[in-house]
Amino acid sequence: MKIKYTAPLRGELSIPGDKSISHRSVMFGALAEGTTEVTNFLTGADCLSTISCFRQMGIEIECTPSAQGAHVLIYGKGLHGLSAPFTTLDAGNSGTTVRLLSGILAGQAFDTVITGDASIQKRPMKRIMTPLTAMGADISSENGNGCAPLSIRGKKLHGTHYASPVASAQVKSCVLLAGLYADGITSVTEPAVSRNHSELMLRYFGADVRTDADEPSLSSAVSNELYGRASSFEPDASASAAQTLKTLNNTKSAAHTGFTASISPEPTLVGQKVRVPGDISSAAYFIAAALLVPGSELLLRNVGINPTRDGMLRVCQAMGADITLLNEDHSGAEPCADLLVRSSHLNAVEIGGNIIPTLIDELPILAVLAAFADGTTVIRDAAELRVKESDRIAVMTENLSRIGCPVEATEDGMIITGGKALHGASIDSYKDHRIAMSFAVAALACSGEMDILDAECVNISYPEFYEDLAKVCR
Report which secondary-structure segment, H or E, holds 357.
Answer: none
CA count, 13 A, side-chain hemisphere, 315 = 33
The Cα-based distances of 165 to 209, 261, 384 in angstroms read 21, 15, 12
- The whole-angstrom separation of Cα 10 and Cα 247 is 34
The Cα-based distances of 69 to 241, 319, 325 in angstroms read 35, 32, 22
- The whole-angstrom separation of Cα 100 and Cα 79 is 15
Residue 314's DSSP bridge partners are: none
- The whole-angstrom separation of Cα 195 and Cα 287 is 20
- The whole-angstrom separation of Cα 214 and Cα 226 is 13
Strands (E), 265-406: 273-275, 297-304, 322-329, 336-342, 350-351, 375-379
Q: What is the DSSP letter of 98?
A: H
> For 375, left (φ over 0), alpha (ψ -120 to 50), or beta?
left
Out of 18, 322, 361, 428, the active site residue is 361
- The whole-angstrom separation of Cα 223 and Cα 219 is 6
Distance of alpha carbon 30 from the chain centroid: 22
Burial of 348 (0-12, 13-18, 19+ CB in 10 A): buried
Helix axes 197-205 and 19-31, enclosed angle (nearest 10): 30
- Enumerate residues 6+ apart whose C-beta is below 8 A from 3: 440, 443, 449, 450, 451, 452, 455, 466
* Angle ∠(57,61,66) on CA atoms, nearest 5: 145
Q: What is the DSSP letter of 80?
A: T
- The whole-angstrom separation of Cα 140 and Cα 445 is 47
183 belongs to the catalytic site: no
Residues annotated catalytic, as ranges: 361
